[in-house]
Amino acid sequence: MTTSTPSVRSRLEPDARRLQIIEAVRPLYLERPFNDVSTAELAAAAGVARGLINHYFGSKRELYVEVMRSSIRMPESELPDLSALPLPERVRRTMDWILEAAETYGQAWISVSGAANLHGDSDLQVVVDEADDHAARLTLDAIGLPDDPRLVARLRAIAPLVKSVCREWLVRETLTRAEALDLLTDTVLIFATKETSS
């Protein structure tokens, strides 16, 4: 099983090798937990010696985090200009676009969804936070609202909701797409426009 000796020794530029390893390893980590995949298996999948993984990433864990970082980032594709529409409609179209993305390459995004493992300052938490923050700004931009810290915080809080709703829709099938769209649209509107009373 762990036959891995790469009979041919290919030499790549460091950057290229880094990327190649990450890509070769991604599928393994997308469907199996961190602990279930051994360094030997990772190395075999990438066609390199075990030592090389530590050489490039320091530890197995860091490679894992790196793979996750590039797996959970919301794809920034272009959204048609919505500036002429009223706010509610802009929000609706934006959420629809997100649902579309989720349905298409969503697999990874949602499975990685709940994301972040527990334990306080986990390294993964940091990565997921980055991604959520990124998604929040992307959404604000699409909706046409300013990149205000308060708004970002609010939209960031919504990221987990978007994922859980997508999961109910795509995985558990307890929601229809129409429902998901309605619920998310309304919620984003509330979070984006509700004034503080204090």
Partner DNA sequence: CACGCTATTGACACTTTGCCAATAGTCTCG
Partner DNA sequence: CGAGACTATTGGCAAAGTGTCAATAGCGTG
Would you tell me which residues interact with its own copies (CB under 8 A)? 29-35, 61, 68, 111-120, 122, 124-125, 128, 149-150, 153-154, 156-161, 163-165, 167-168, 172, 174-176, 178-179, 182-183, 186-187, 190-191, 194, 196-198
50 binds, among DNA, its own copies, none (CB under 5 to 8 A by kind): DNA
Nearer to DNA, 9 or 172 (CB): 9
Q: Would the CA dihedral through 72, 109, 124, 141 be positive or negative? A: positive
Name the site residues for DNA (rule: CB under 7 A). Answer: 2, 5-6, 9-14, 17, 37-40, 47-52, 54-55, 58-61
Q: How far apart are CA 125 and CA 120, in angstroms?
A: 8
Q: Residue 83: exposed, middle, or buried by beta-carbon count in 10 A (0-12, 13-18, 19+)?
A: exposed
Considering the complex, what minimum distance in angstroms separates the CB of residue 79 from its own copies?
24
User: How many residues does the structure list for the chain?
Assistant: 198
13 binds, among DNA, its own copies, none (CB under 5 to 8 A by kind): DNA
CA atoms within 13 A on the CB side of 88: 4
Considering the complex, what minimum distance in angstroms separates the CB of residue 154 from its own copies?
7
Contact 52, 45 (CB under 8 A): no
Nearer to its own copies, 12 or 38 (CB): 38
Considering the complex, what minimum distance in angstroms separates the CB of residue 1 from DNA?
8
Q: How far apart are CA 165 and CA 187, in angstroms?
A: 12
84 binds, among DNA, its own copies, none (CB under 5 to 8 A by kind): none
Own/partner long-range contacts of 118-127 (Cβ < 8 Å, ≥24 apart): 123/61, 123/65, 124/65, 124/68, 127/65, 127/68, 127/69, 127/72
Nearer to DNA, 17 or 69 (CB): 17
